[in-house]
A and B are shown apart, each in its own frame.
Chain A
Amino acid sequence: MDVPATAAPLLSEAETLRFRRMTVIWGITVLLLLPILAALGYFMRLYQSAAFPKVKPEWFYAVLTLHSLGMVGTWFVGSMAGVSYLLLKYTRPSLAVSKFNYWGTLLGVVLLIVCTLGGLFGTGWYFLYPLPLYSQHIWSPLTTFTFFVALAILGICWTIWTLDILRAIAQRYSLAAALGWNYLVGKPGTEVPPLVLITTVTLIVAVSGFVAAVIVIALFAARALGVNVDALLMKNLTFFFGHVLVNITMYLGVAMVYELLPTYAGRPWKTNRVVAIAWDAVLFLILFAYFHHLYMDFAQPTWVQKFGQICSYLLSVPAGVVSIFGTLLLVYASKMKWTFASMLFFLGIMGWGVGGIAAVIDSTVAVNFHFHNTLWVPAHFHTYYLMGVVLIVLGFIDHVGKELSGLPENPLRSKWTVALLLIGGYGFVSMFYWAGAHSVPRRYAVYPLEVAQGTLYARVAVGFITVLLAGILLYLWETGKRCLKALASI
């Protein structure tokens, strides 16, 4: 491998140890947040099952807001921490930035909890303009202000973190190399691991998403000062940000699989021309696929909607042909070492694929006309989130916990945990799919007569979530032990 002349030295042993410790702290934090946020989801499905008739619906919407923002944020920071750790092999990310992010993220999360559970702020994750300003006296203007302060804190922290990782990559690789362009022209020169390529593509997209979020917050502030703000512009910016944040989290998870799954399969997974083309295509397509969130905004030009469908369809090509096919090729007839972590990586890619199929179907304008904002939408994003990136990040935490603690796993308990996660997880999302196909709306605290069947589907889902929670608790017991031992031993 040719190392570029500008290459910075990697971290010293002491610095690496400190970085590992920070990664374990991130991991333990994710493990603490997981059951709390999952319990909020459990509460919502119980509420929709009519289990709490005396609890006011504002609690449902406040919990919905905290659950969705909390889950997206948790898996974003979990995957960022994971990618940072794995990049230590190739680059030199800043430990100080990681620590700064940790405390900044905690502060942001505390403020979000105060706004939602304390102030009943209930706009959903997307705080769609101008809903935060039309509270119907449920939440106060101070709560709205605090909510945007929390978002600003998280946005600033995560932008700095993103830029720092890009800086670390840039210290060792030129932009052209990090984007795999050397492979495109047939002169690879410096070998670029897929982890570096995917992280670079993903984090460039991430910066654009965070910029959109900053503009949204600024325009809310402008509206508070009396400036007239365009609702369609706000919607475009909001969904661009949300779409990007969810997708980059998934891609960071995939980047970890590219790096770690080969160590279990005993085969290499290297960047080549096809891999480079695929991820560079993602960089372009992801920026325009977000239009599929606005299909029902008929004021948006029709050509934009159709372009959104074309980009959404084409996004499945690099994912399917390169990443999912690559995973299958890597594992096929290999001397695969099936551990808890490797099972979760493999199943996480499968979940990404299954959820992606449902997402592509929904990205068809003519189909979205009947599915938009029904439970089909949480069906597919829970599939590629819960059964995709969540499994991958959980696999990563277990991988690191085992690596640093030396505690072996109990194979039987691992298989039981995976079985519970699969049965509970897929059973839970199947009720979303079925309900979506039967026109049941999403984000409804109570189902009115026209869609009363939603209550029954929620009750069935509650049963599956119970199984899922049992799997999560088993996971926490096993992996939590390893992480605590790792923390004590570093």
Chain B
Amino acid sequence: MIQMHAFYVFLAVAGLLIVIFIYVASSTGHARDIDVHAAYGVRTKFFYVLLAVLVIGLGMTLGKTPYPRNNEIPDKVVFVVGKQFSFGLSDSPITNDEEYEARTYATPVQVPLNSLVEFRVTSFDVNHGFSVYSPENHLIAQTQAMPGYVNRLRVRFTEPGRYTVLCLELCGMGHHRMRGVFEVK
């Protein structure tokens, strides 16, 4: 799970920083003059190391953005509308409130396993967060549902089961109750 990897990277780097702060604080018990020019030399090295880490980090991650690529054609399209306080998901476009209402009570949309699915996500009122939780309840993908815009989220599901959609953008008093559901088969 990418979240846990990020968590451990954070723990390691933050832990190192805290150790350095403790070391520096304890050094004041043995006060002495320091060579400022030598310290500036350390700073220069630190600058290049940090820059190298950041450039490597950018190189490793900038190509892995979740945004749709034009050279990919989705195998299936799911239309999504967010509205206080439910998501309507459908195989065909949802164009008005009646269609939205009908979809919130309909049987869950089904999407094929190992296929590239495109969710076309919009909102009929305020901003919502269209956030897909796996059957194990891990947040695996998300995009915003915005009034006046259609955000295209593409996901390839490699695990069958019932997926839940939670709202991750504060949308009012029923925000925590807002949900949608679809099945991967």
Contacts and interface: CB of A to CB of B under 8 A. Distances in A.
Interface of A: 57-58, 61, 122-124, 128-131, 134-136, 138, 230-232, 235, 274, 296-299, 302, 305-306, 309-310, 313-314, 316-317, 320-321, 324-325, 328-329, 331-336, 338, 346-347, 350, 353-354, 357-358, 361, 364-367, 369-374, 376, 433-434, 436-439, 441-448, 450-451
A446 B51 CA distance: 42
Given A321-B46, A329-B43, A299 B151 contact: yes
A320 B50 contact: yes
B76 interface: no
A439 B137 contact: yes
Contact of A369 (B18, B36, B66): B66
Interface of B: 2-4, 6-7, 9-10, 13-14, 17-18, 20-21, 24-25, 27-28, 30-34, 36, 39, 43, 46-47, 50-51, 54, 57-58, 61-62, 64-68, 84, 125-127, 129, 131, 133, 137-144, 146-153, 164, 166, 168-177, 179
Given A346-B21, A367-B6, A302 B65 contact: yes
B24 A331 contact: yes
Nearest to A133: B126
A305 B170 contact: no
A321 B25 contact: no
B83 to A, nearest CB: 10
Contacts of B62: 306, 309-310, 365
A354 B21 CA distance: 11
Contacts of A369: 66, 141-142
B143 A296 contact: yes
Contact of B65 (A329, A350, A366, A446): A366
18 contacts: A122-B172, A124-B170, A128-B169, A274-B43, A297-B149, A321-B50, A324-B17, A325-B43, A331-B25, A332-B28, A335-B28, A353-B17, A357-B14, A367-B61, A374-B168, A434-B7, A437-B4, A448-B179
A443 B175 contact: yes
B50 A365 contact: no
Contact of A370 (B61, B139, B150, B153): B139
A129 B144 CA distance: 13
A328 B21 contact: yes
B118 to A, nearest CB: 11
Contact of B3 (A316, A438, A443): A438
Contacts of A317: 47, 50-51, 54
Contacts of B51: 317
B147 A130 contact: yes
Contacts of B17: 324, 350, 353-354, 357
Nearest to A430: B11
B57 to A, nearest CB: 7
Contacts of A296: 129, 142-144, 151
Nearest to B135: A450
B61 A365 contact: yes
A320 B21 CA distance: 13
A365 B65 contact: yes
Contacts of A334: 28, 31
A331 B146 CA distance: 49
Nearest to A358: B10
Contacts of B25: 331, 336, 346
Contact of A450 (B7, B61, B127, B137): B137
A366 B61 contact: yes
Contact of A338 (B20, B28, B173): B28
Contacts of B126: 128, 130-131, 134
Contacts of B142: 296, 369-370, 372-373
B135 to A, nearest CB: 10
Given A305-B67, A313-B54, A317-B50, A373 B129 contact: yes
Most buried by B among A138, A329, A376: A329
Contacts of A299: 146, 149-151
A447 B137 CA distance: 13
A436 B10 CA distance: 12
A448 B129 CA distance: 16
Most buried by A among B57, B127, B140, B150: B127
A321 B43 CA distance: 7
A138 B84 CA distance: 13
Contacts of A313: 54, 57-58
Contacts of B39: 329, 332
